Structure 1
Amino acid sequence: MKFWPLKLTLCQSLNPSLFPMSSNPTIFLTDEQLAERWQCHRQTLIRWRTKGTGPRFVKINNQIRYKLSDVEAFEEANTVTPE
């Protein structure tokens, strides 16, 4: 199982100077990459999106992408500490 290096999306491969509002380019994951990261089936992510659960996602031109920062926030919010 390997998470890195992630394939760069179009947004990441553009020159950061074209986006003066953001000093850090946003990293996006595909549903396949997120399914691999979480060791779950891609269909699980699709079901969560349909139900309105799971991490936030971005839909552009019928393509689903997950911001890495949103994925990490979801992981943190759902981390269970044993008693």
Structure 2
Amino acid sequence: MPLQDTTHLTPAHLAKRWSVTAGHLANQRSAGIGPAYLKLGGRILYRLVDIEAYEERALVTGVSA
């Protein structure tokens, strides 16, 4: 997938999407958890395709008794 065709989110945009703080996302990156991200010239970006895959893996569809 060419980079120009990929939608990217900044930490601020992802924080708003998930109703968390940008600091929470920074803590996840520091701990090596959370979604994949790009670090380009000191700038952090998340590819939307990676965010959607991460959300899909976190989806809980039911609770066993």
- TM-score normalized by the length of structure 1: 0.70
The list of structure 1 runs, each at least 4 consecutive aligned residues, that deviate by more than 6 angstroms after superposition, is: none
State the alpha-carbon separation in 2 of the partners of residues 69 and 80 from structure 1: 19
The Cα of 1:81 is off from its aligned counterpart by 1.3
1:80 aligns with 2:49: no
State the alpha-carbon separation in 1 of the partners of residues 22 and 61 from structure 2: 26
State the alpha-carbon separation in 2 of the partners of residues 82 and 42 from structure 1: 29
Which residue does 2:30 correspond to in 1?
50
Cα RMSD (Å) of the superposition? 1.4
State the alpha-carbon separation in 2 of the partners of residues 80 and 43 from structure 1: 25
- In structure 1, the residue corresponding to 2:39 is in which secondary structure? strand
Aligned-residue identity in percent: 39
Unaligned runs of 5+ in 2: none
Which residue does 1:18 correspond to in 2?
none
Determine which structure has more spread, i.e. the larger CA radius of gyration.
Answer: 1
Which residue of the other structure, out of 18, 21, 30, is the alignment partner of 1:38?
A: 18
Unaligned runs of 5+ in 1: 1-20
State the alpha-carbon separation in 2 of the partners of residues 54 and 26 from structure 1: 20
1:68 aligns with 2:53: no
- TM-score normalized by the length of structure 2: 0.89
